[in-house]
Amino acid sequence: MTPPSSVESEADDESAAQAGQPVVTADALATHLVCPRQYEFAFERPLSARKTSTDRVRDRRRQLLRRSIIAGLRSEADSDEGRVEAALEWLNHEWRQASAGDRQPYIADAQEQYDANALAAAVEAYFENGGHGHAERLVEADTVVSYERDGIRYEATVDAVVERDRGYLGIRYVPTLHGVLQVSWSDTHVREFVDGQSYYPRQIGSFVRAGVAIRGLKAEYGFDLPCDFAYVAPLAESRPAYESESGVRVDVEQRHFEDAFEEETRDLVDLIEERAAAIGDGKTDPRAWRFENITNSACQYCAYRDACPDRMGAELAFIDREPTRGERGERGEIDD
């Protein structure tokens, strides 16, 4: 079985062609928004992040779903059933490979089997709810879209690019929509975040990823064409369904960003360029970027917290300070 080609090789080729030009990725921007030090540990001098079993299950779900769906989208099958069969065949292959290497995320065999059934049900549900249409109008899969602005190349990884009746749609497959901005809540998300009226950096980061992708799609396919970006969650909800063959029932959800991008373009672009400048200038000190918010919320869920000098310094500082949400036993921001 030939695996779907990796976007990493395409990115390497692209980077080689653009040698010497600064490149800022959407993932780097989203991470820097959460915490500049987290960005440093993830991108500048990578550390091995501490991962819980929940982290490993989440990462496995994301990779297995996207790779299996991409295999189905690229399949040369001449029927809907054949396309789903190709996706499930790849899922079974990848599942066996992943399980052979790491079974620790699961407490019991029953939990592992439930997850396997849920992923298979999610793949089938995706194709039944729009996936076949995506496959029939697929332009590219597992690719990078980009644009240039003021000497900087901005890049976003996109799992699929689909042609619409007019324009293009970029898709990122995620297990659930946890951590993805609910764009219908407001039309001033970015302005409220920048002004300090609200603090939900991971959700704003999802908007940044969408914004970079939409601008990249326009640069690639035509600035005058309407372009959209969507997070598609084939495993948005799952629950036992004993009457079904798989024993699992799943719900597929999508969240589109075209309208929000049009509404908040100026504020979003300003935020993207401001964070890109901070990255270019090597600004990784979180004390210059909402440090109180970071220590009160983001630190609790950071995979690098045990190695972070800023967090340890804040914890050990002999000053009167308010306890963090975690210390009060409250729930801070968490991104599944």
pLDDT digits (tens, 9 = 90+) for 234-267: 999 998 887 766 689 999 999 999 999 999 999 9
Decide if pLDDT at 85 tops 60: yes
- Higher per-residue confidence, 141 vs 103: 141
Q: Which two tokens stand for residue 235?
A: 């495993």
Q: Which two tokens stand for residue 183?
A: 């764009």
Judge contact between 248 and 241, C-beta under 8 A.
yes
Helix axes 80-101, 109-126, angle to 10 degrees: 150
CA distance 315 to 309: 10
Judge contact between 122 and 252, C-beta under 8 A.
yes
218 and 99 both lie in a single domain:
no
Q: Which two tokens stand for residue 317?
A: 């500082």
For the purposes of burial, counting CB atoms within 10 Å of the CB of 55, is it exposed (0-12), middle (13-18) or buried (19 or more)?
A: middle
118 and 196 both lie in a single domain:
no
Q: Which residues contact 103 (CB under 8 A, 6 or more apart)?
A: 112
pLDDT digits (tens, 9 = 90+) for 275-324: 999 999 999 998 888 888 888 888 888 888 888 888 888 877 655 555 55
Pick from 52-61, 101-110, 143-152, 288-297 the range whose average pLDDT is largest: 143-152
169 and 296 both lie in a single domain:
yes
The answer to whether residue 336 is domain-embedded is no
81 and 146 both lie in a single domain:
no
244 and 114 both lie in a single domain:
no
Q: What pLDDT score was predicted for residue 105?
A: 74
Percent of the chain at pLDDT > 70 equals 86
What is the phi/psi pair of residue 75, to 5°?
Answer: -60, 145
The answer to whether residue 40 is domain-embedded is yes
CA distance 279 to 271: 12
109 and 194 both lie in a single domain:
no
**Mean pLDDT across the chain:** 87
In order of 73, 77, 122, 157, 194, the CA distances from 1 in angstroms are 16, 15, 22, 24, 48
Q: What pLDDT score was predicted for residue 271?
A: 97
- The total number of structural domains in the chain stands at 2
The answer to whether residue 166 is domain-embedded is yes
pLDDT digits (tens, 9 = 90+) for 173-197: 999 999 999 998 778 999 999 998 9
What mean pLDDT comes out for the span 22-42? 95
Kindly give the pairing relationship between strand 138-149 and strand 168-173.
unpaired
**Helices and strands: H and E segment counts in the chain:** 13, 6
Q: Which domain holds residue 63?
A: 52-136
Q: What pLDDT score was predicted for residue 15?
A: 47
DSSP character at residue 323? P
The answer to whether residue 9 is domain-embedded is no
